[in-house]
Chain A
Amino acid sequence: MIEFHSVSKKYSADALALQDVSLNIAKGELIFLAGPSGAGKSTLMKMVAAIERPTSGRVIVNGQDIGKLNKASVPFLRRNLGLIFQHQRLLNDRHILANVMLPLIVTSASKGQAEQRARAALDKVGMLDRANALPMELSGGEQQRVAIARAIVNRPQIILADEPTANLDRAAADRVLDALRAFHAVGVTCVISTHDEQVLESAARVIRLEHGHVVGSSVGGAA
């Protein structure tokens, strides 16, 4: 489902984010990307979402070569992805329901259909009772669960979560990870980046990155 073939990414002559990275993520897998800040985790995720393009090598997502993808095709690729960011990037001028409806609105879904599916997504992450609240009225953990609802409302094939538990306390982080595991359990491919070693203890598969290189890949633990 996601393939990296000898991928390198240079932002400038002395800023090498990824170097000769090769990896393969199968459909329905739950993968954790681990490594310190600056290891290249975010760059790798951005390439899957075609936010960045490889300087060399090939990135294949759902059979599409990201390096060769034309500009007009990028939105349609992203509609099959659920993106979750460290800083949730919720729109503060509209309530939670409207935030979760946004991925459906951009695909020209009817308002009624979008609202129905957004409510269902909020219900799945336990946030339906806060549907009419503004993002600023929620805690960090609640905001992250809303971000998950926004990511899954389009029924994506892949969820990319970049440091979703950073800045959250343990209880909130566990709730966020439980929500992501629940979507993995129904067949969604999940790629989660983290530098939280406690999270990795129970991970099924971990890919470790350092200074833009893959330095280790382990399989084991509980999924």
Chain B
Amino acid sequence: MTSIDVKLPAALASECGGARHLALDLDAEATLRDVITAIAQTHPRLARRITDETGNLRRYVNIYIGDDESRRLQGLDTPVTGHDLQILPSIAGG
């Protein structure tokens, strides 16, 4: 097992009862997809903000695995063991 800390943006904190961090215990081989699956089990609305109903990461939601944005790695198949995660939506609009 590995423990993963997921840092949440303020815009989504209420979906976790106001918490800005989510601690997940996952298999040592866990990927980002496993992280989102785990979030969906305990916080389904939070998972829906991050991914669409087909499981794809929403276009303007970025998840950093350590210092790297997941799309620049292996996307949802990126291993996460040993890294903290941060969810950073690209909030924009005039």
Chains A and B form a bound pair: no
> Residues of B at under 8 Å CB distance from A?
none
